[in-house]
């Protein structure tokens, strides 16, 4: 039956299956500690089959990191569609907290990659991330100039948002240990989110209700 993209579909699904396993293994062991054999075992495929879809370990890794980067950038939309700092910054924090909750492994892979000097995605950093950051800094600076929030260095504000939100993904294990060995439940996530958003917005002199 179909056809020209039938095989393509199957390929995409298989790649997704492998990428999911790879994300898990890379997150738990780092690039160096991850082995193709383990990725094969987790994905339930023979190692040689993995190499059919991704010729090298670095190839596979690059795809994993770039997937995460895309998800990351989606949270940026909170900024663009916002009417002001309460909605823009508050929404951005919420979105990033949600990503930390739903994609903790992706965040870990990203963190590992950057911590080791971004050998694979340096071009992403220099290109997309730099320009995205510059754009957001401008928006924040405008809000400051318009008296909608306190005087702050927008760049360091962004770092603060990134670090606080991603901390819940990257240091998930530490947080669980300090939470009696159990993951945060729904109420605790809400509490975490409210605390992060509350302190930052108050610290910026922004009225949280609008």
How far CA 63 is from CA of 58, 121, 159, in Å, comes to: 9, 10, 25
Say whether residue 102 binds DNA (CB under 7 A): no
The DSSP 8-state label assigned to residue 182 in this structure reads S
Sign of CA dihedral 62, 107, 135, 92: positive
Stretch that binds DNA, among 42-50, 79-87, 108-116, 195-203 (CB under 7 A): 42-50
Q: Report, in Å, the least distance between residue 41 CB and DNA.
A: 10
User: Which helix H or strand E contains 81, and what residues bound it?
Assistant: none
Residue 48 or 178 having the CB closest to its own copies: 178
Say whether residue 6 binds DNA (CB under 7 A): yes
Q: Report, in Å, the least distance between residue 22 CB and DNA.
A: 11
Residue 43 or 108 having the CB closest to its own copies: 108
* CB 54, CB 40: distance < 8 Å: no
Q: Report, in Å, the least distance between residue 146 CB and DNA.
A: 52
Say whether residue 14 binds DNA (CB under 7 A): yes
């Amino acid at each position: 039956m179909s056809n020209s993209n039938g095989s393509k579909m199957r390929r995409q699904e298989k790649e997704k299956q492998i990428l999911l396993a790879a994300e898990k293994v890379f997150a738990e062991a780092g690039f160096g500690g991850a082995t193709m054999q383990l990725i094969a075992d987790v994905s339930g495929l023979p190692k040689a089959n993995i190499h059919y879809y991704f010729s090298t370990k670095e190839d596979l890794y690059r795809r994993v990191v770039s997937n995460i980067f895309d998800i990351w950038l989606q949270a940026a939309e909170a900024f663009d569609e916002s009417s002001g700092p309460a909605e823009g910054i508050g929404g951005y924090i919420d979105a990033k907290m949600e990503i930390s909750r739903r994609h903790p492994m992706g965040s870990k892979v990203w963190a590992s990659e950057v911590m080791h000097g971004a050998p694979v995605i340096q071009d992403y950093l220099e290109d997309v991330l730099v320009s995205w950051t510059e754009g957001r800094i401008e928006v924040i600076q405008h809000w400051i100039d318009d008296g909608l929030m306190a005087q702050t260095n927008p760049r360091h504000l962004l770092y603060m948002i990134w670090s606080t939100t991603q901390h819940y993904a990257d240091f998930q294990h530490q947080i669980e240990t300090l939470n009696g060995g159990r993951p945060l439940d729904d109420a605790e996530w809400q509490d975490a989110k409210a605390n992060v958003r509350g302190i930052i917005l108050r610290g910026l002199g922004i009225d949280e209700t609008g």
